[in-house]
């Protein structure tokens, strides 16, 4: 366990994709573009800007091409697209995504529910995507959903996860994401698995994706950071969840994570006041309150005046 908190924690903002995919109202393409453009100015180096899945499966993100073509790209920002298959990859390349994020599940049951195929079939399909991307500047990341537990099967054997990490490496993926799809992870479990994975992967190639479904999201981030992980997905306002995973409410909240880092002296490069201002616009955009805490309570540094007569 480390006690040096000076190493940068990289936050990949996923609200434009994972955050919006289960919203019941349609968010206009122009509003999606405006959100991404504001995030691009807040200090993020990585933004998951959309996905190229079937519009029948995820109608909320059916405008992926328009979004990627419409954003004002900032130097030093990687714009990521989630893709399910070769057709999605073809669309994402035309839309000039910088990175393709492919997903399968450690759980066979969840993979069938999410992808309508087995893990082995998913991996076979990824080979076609690798061939398509070969010779381009586009990087590839492989996500392992339900790494820490499955809502259908329960606990996941670590050996299955390690085999999938190895399979991604053999395919030629530049990065791997371990995803706690329904918020079943705990800090002790996270620390042990991250240490094990980092024996096989460099820290810069590993991303952790946690949900706050059971209130352990930021605790799991800290456990992973102390184990050596340096990159984490988070969603503005705490938006999001998986439509194919029962109970998968709530990605970890970006501004809450950045606030934690600021309080502990962990650098992120993200402008927290700007982020809070942006998060506070979400209720008007989406028609409901956000689960994030710091946008409501304010930072520790946001002090209040004494009551009248006590000043």
Which DSSP string corresponds to 50-67? EE---TTT-GGGTTHHHH
Domain that holds residue 216: 10-290
pLDDT (mean) for 197-226: 97
pTM of the model: 0.95
What percentage of the chain exceeds 70 in pLDDT?
96
Distance CA 256, CA 292 (A): 7
- Would you call 143 helix, strand, or coil by DSSP? strand
**Any domain includes 43:** yes
CATH number of the CATH domain containing 264: 3.20.20.70
Catalytic residue among 150, 242, 253, 261: 242
Query: Does a structural domain hold residue 126?
Result: yes
In a domain? residue 158: yes
300 inside domain: no
- Token pair in block for residue 74: 């900032």
Task: Assess if residue 1 is contained within a domain.
Answer: no
By residue count, the chain amounts to: 311
Residue 144 · residue 179 · CB < 8 Å: yes
Q: Evaluate whether residue 226 is within a structural domain.
A: yes
CA 305 – CA 311 distance, rounded (Å): 8
Q: What is the pLDDT of residues 239-295, one digit of tens each?
A: 986 555 454 468 999 999 999 999 999 999 999 999 999 999 999 999 999 999 999
58-115 tens-digit pLDDT? 999 999 999 999 999 999 999 999 999 999 999 999 999 999 999 999 999 998 988 8
Q: What share of the chain is helix, strand, coil (3-state, %, to 5)?
A: 40, 15, 40
Phi-psi region of 194 (alpha: psi -120 to 50; beta: other; left: phi over 0): alpha
Q: In the annotation, is 242 catalytic?
A: yes
* Number of structural domains found in the chain: 1
CA distance 166 to 149: 19
Query: Would you place residue 178 in the very low, low, confident or very high pLDDT band (cuts 50, 70, 90)?
Result: very high
Evaluate whether residue 77 is within a structural domain.
yes
Give the pLDDT of residue 277. Answer: 98
For residue 85, being part of any structural domain is answered with yes
Q: Furthest-apart CA pair in the chain: how many Å?
A: 72
């Amino acid at each position: 366990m480390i006690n040096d908190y000076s190493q940068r924690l990289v936050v990949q903002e996923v609200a434009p994709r994972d955050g919006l995919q289960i919203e019941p109202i349609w968010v206009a393409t122009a509003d999606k573009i405006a959100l991404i453009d504001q995030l691009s100015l807040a200090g993020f180096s990585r933004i998951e800007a959309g996905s190229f899945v079937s519009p029948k499966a995820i109608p909320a993100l059916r405008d992926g091409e328009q979004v990627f073509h419409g954003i004002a790209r900032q130097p030093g920002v990687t714009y990521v697209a989630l893709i399910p298959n070769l057709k999605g990859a073809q669309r994402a390349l035309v839309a000039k995504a910088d990175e393709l994020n492919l997903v399968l599940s450690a759980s066979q049951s969840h993979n069938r529910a999410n992808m309508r195929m087995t893990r082995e079939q998913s991996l076979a399909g990824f080979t076609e995507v690798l061939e398509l991307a070969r010779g381009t500047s586009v990087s590839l990341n492989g996500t392992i959903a339900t790494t820490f537990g499955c809502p259908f099967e329960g606990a996941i054997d670590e050996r299955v996860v390690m085999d999938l990490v190895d399979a991604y490496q053999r395919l030629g993926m530049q990065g791997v994401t371990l995803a706690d799809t329904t918020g079943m992870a705990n800090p002790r479990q996270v620390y042990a698995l991250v240490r094990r994975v980092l024996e096989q992967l460099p820290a810069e190639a590993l991303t952790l994706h946690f949900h706050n479904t059971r209130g352990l999201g930021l605790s799991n981030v800290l456990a992973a950071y102390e184990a050596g992980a340096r990159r984490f997905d988070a969603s503005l306002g705490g938006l999001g969840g998986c439509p194919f995973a029962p109970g998968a409410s709530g990605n970890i909240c970006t501004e809450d994570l950045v606030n934690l880092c600021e309080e502990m002296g962990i650098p992120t490069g993200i402008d927290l006041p700007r982020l809070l201002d942006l998060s506070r616009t979400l209720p008007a955009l989406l028609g409901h309150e956000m689960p994030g805490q710091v946008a409501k309570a304010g930072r520790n540094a946001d002090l209040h005046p004494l009551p009248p007569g006590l000043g």
